[in-house]
Amino acid sequence: MGAAPASRNPPGLGGRNPAMKIVTLVKHVPDATADRTFNAADNTTDRAGVDGLLSELDEYAVEEALKIAEAGDGVEIVALTMGPDGADAALKKALQMGADSGVHVVDDALHGSDALATAQVLAAAIAKVGDVDLVLTGMASTDGSMSVVPAMLAEHLGLAHVGFVGELTVSGATVTARRDGDVASETIEADLPAVVSVTDQINEPRYPSFKGIMAAKKKPVETWTLADLGVDAGAVGLDAAFSVVREVTKRPERTAGTVVTDEGDGGVKLAEFLAAQKFI
């Protein structure tokens, strides 16, 4: 990315010039198996009252970066997250898996940011990391799950984006990706630098090893504010959001239906139910 600022020594690099620099995006999300809820005051996601973790689908992006690094020489992996205090837990997991360094973008002004603001801030952070060849992301976060941030990032950075990739190869300055769509399976070629979002079909993320966990403690993590990124605090956060939540309602528990135990006539009873409901 040619337009990166001059003072862009990426964290942990010490001036070394990697053959390839990968940024993997890691979002910190409330645990999906806990009771996720909203802040009553402003209808934003409750990120304090629920245990958080690295969005599971981002582990596939970290794993893919590690595979590329293992297959080549001089590949540098920077994990990047935007989120409140505590979101660096997502970075920690990425570092334990094997990423080289982390960047945590944190600023009180970011509370309640929508997808557009998130993408704008992440794009600015990627530009500040500098000389990035490949941005790897998950296919969707497990909380907002909009699947829009990667394409928005690419739009901001003027880069190609290949989404929902199930198989990826990097050779020279080109990525080749397979994506299995609704009506066809496509092979895509794009020039680096590019943004690629990966699905859970692409690999099997590793568990951090004991060695990885110990090594992660010494890996550098930088904390950047909006001022560090040159992003106007008034352009992000809840008040600047381009969309607003009007109302949040807890979905009523589905009323318990009829459950029968098969005593040789379970299939007939099932058909009777379908007929009574006019499905046959």
By CB under 6 A, name the binding residues for ligand FAD. 25-27, 45, 55-58, 61, 81-83, 113-116, 118, 137-138, 140-141, 143-150, 200, 243
State the minimum distance, in angstroms, from the CB of residue 176 to another protein.
8
Nearer residue to ligand FAD within complex by CB, 37 or 214:
37
Q: Tell which one of 3, 40, 41, 183 touches another protein (CB under 8 A).
A: 183
Tokens of 22: 């990968």
Contact 236, 109 (CB under 8 A): yes
Interaction mask 195-224, another protein, x per CB under 8 A? ----xxx-----------------------
Contact 23, 82 (CB under 8 A): no
For the chain, the C-alpha Rg in angstroms (whole number) is: 22
Nearer residue to another protein within complex by CB, 6 or 183:
183
Quickly count: other Cβ atoms within 10 Å of residue 239's Cβ.
Answer: 11
Contact 193, 170 (CB under 8 A): no
CA–CA separation, 32 vs 40, rounded Å? Answer: 19
Residue 81 binds which entry of ligand FAD, another protein, none, with Cβ cut-offs from 5 to 8 Å by kind? ligand FAD
**Which 53-72 positions form the footprint of another protein (CB under 8 A)?**
57
Any contact of residue 274 with another protein (CB under 8 A)? Answer: yes
CA–CA separation, 72 vs 120, rounded Å? Answer: 31
State the minimum distance, in angstroms, from the CB of residue 152 to ligand FAD.
8
State the minimum distance, in angstroms, from the CB of residue 172 to ligand FAD.
25
Quickly count: other Cβ atoms within 10 Å of residue 199's Cβ.
Answer: 18
Nearer residue to another protein within complex by CB, 210 or 279:
279
Q: Tell which one of 23, 149, 216, 226 touches another protein (CB under 8 A).
A: 149
Contacts of 73 (CB under 8 A, 6+ apart): 19
Any contact of residue 41 with another protein (CB under 8 A)? Answer: no
- Size of residue set near another protein by CB under 8 A: 86
Torsion of CA 232, 237, 241, 246, to 10 degrees: -160
Any contact of residue 171 with another protein (CB under 8 A)? Answer: no
State the minimum distance, in angstroms, from the CB of residue 214 to ligand FAD.
25
Stretch that binds another protein, among 1-9, 81-89, 135-143, 223-231 (CB under 8 A): 135-143
Nearer residue to ligand FAD within complex by CB, 20 or 198:
198
Stretch that binds another protein, among 13-21, 88-96, 217-225, 250-258 (CB under 8 A): 250-258
Contact 178, 166 (CB under 8 A): yes
Any contact of residue 235 with another protein (CB under 8 A)? Answer: no
Contact 87, 111 (CB under 8 A): no
Cα–chain center distance at 56 = 9
Cα atoms in the 13 Å half-sphere on the side-chain side of 36: 16
